[in-house]
Amino acid sequence: MNFWKKLKTLRHTGSTTLTTSQGEPFTVLAPMANVTDWAFRNIVADCGRSDVFYTEFISADGISAVGHEKFKGELYFEENERPIVAQFFGSKPENFYKCAQLAQELGFDGIDINMGCPDKSVEKQGAGASLIKNPELAREIIKQTIRGAGKLPVSVKTRLGYNKIETETWIPHLLNTDISALTVHARIRKDMSKTPARWEELGKIVEMAKGTDKLIIGNGDVKNLNEGYDKANKYGLDGMMVGRGIFENPWFFCGIADSAERTPIERIKLLKKHLDNFEKLWGSNKNFDVMKRFFKIYINGWPGAKELRIKLMNTVNIQEAMSILKM
């Protein structure tokens, strides 16, 4: 069964088999480059997982050009992460077709198309948020992804518009396709993340989607689980996606509002596991500095945490970091 439809059924029947509270909107961990690889998703799963996991966003053109072996780390997942969705970005429909077939072969539960990333290097390729300006190409990418996906459900993640709110014009292009779910970051591309998310626009999208059987997921400025439930319920959304909130608190999805509720020993232990995961997944294939963005997640909020974090930031490899954590 299409896992998105299963989530919708569980939500509307109030089933307690959801990891969230009875009848609450389901939760999704957002795809983030150099963040949501298996090494970090495994940590989130241990702390209290989201209902759905996404990979990092992965270049469909890159895979098509050099083969998926070069992307083994980005595509790696384990059974305890299901349902897990592979997210691809790009601008060539034929490459999305190939990547959709690959996602089937690798055993993913779904495929998502990135139509919201504001990164300039992504947009230069005609991908990410730039597809908002090219709805015909966006529809063709969706068509070819669905063609290659077989029985796997296809979804899209996007924004409210490019330089202005385009809820009434851009969103219908997506709703009039055969996608199973639509995630909307409640900002326009021009906003980046500098202005408050406009959740009221997501309520309009829910109304537009009525009768289409498509799930609508909200994203933007969700600081804790209860706040996310409140926003999603207020605007009638099926689910909520969390990105930056996980940087404040890896226990986000189990309802712990503040990571300070966990002891320094617990948090250091979690960082050590993350470091170990990173080494297992990447070895020497990824710059260790990528790990440093995570240190503040674990090492903050107690006397001496800042000094310990400074020492960790000056390390050059996992072995050095581990030796400091064992002191």
pLDDT of 55-77, one tens digit each? 999 999 999 999 999 999 999 99
Distances from the Cα of 68 to the Cα of 42, 84, 106, 136, 284, angstroms:
22, 18, 10, 28, 18
Q: CATH 3.20.20.70 in the chain, residues?
A: 3-257
Assess whether pLDDT exceeds 50 at residue 18.
Answer: no
Q: CA-CA distance, 192 to 231, in Å (whole number)?
A: 20
Read off the tokens for 154: 């296809």
Q: Which of 192, 40, 62 is nearest to 120 (CA)?
A: 192
Quick one: residue 271, left, alpha or beta (phi over 0 = left, psi -120 to 50 = alpha)? alpha
- pTM confidence score: 0.93
Instruction: With cut-offs at 50, 70 and 90, classify the pLDDT of residue 15.
Output: very low
pLDDT of residue 97: 98
- Which two three-digit tokens encode residue 206? 């829910």
261 falls in which pLDDT band (50, 70, 90)? confident
For residues 98 and 73, is the Cβ–Cβ distance under 8 A? Answer: no
pLDDT digits (tens, 9 = 90+) for 87-96: 999 999 999 9
Predicted confidence band at 259 (pLDDT cuts at 50, 70, 90)? confident
Average pLDDT over residues 253-270: 86
Domain at 3-257: CATH code: 3.20.20.70
Residue 193 has a pLDDT of 72
Which of 84-88, 185-189, 193-197 is the least confident region? 193-197
For residue 93, give the amino acid letter: P
Token reading at 22:
């009875």
pLDDT of residue 21: 47
pLDDT above 60 (res 184): yes
CA–CA gap between residue 269 and residue 150 (Å, rounded): 42
Residue-level pLDDT at 23: 64
Whether pLDDT at 209 is above 70: yes
Predicted confidence (pLDDT) per residue in 267-325, tens digit: 999 999 999 999 999 999 999 999 999 999 999 989 999 999 999 999 999 999 999 99
Give first-to-last CA distance, the chain, whole Å. Answer: 50
The residues carrying an active-site annotation are 117
Confidence tier at 24 by pLDDT (50, 70, 90): confident
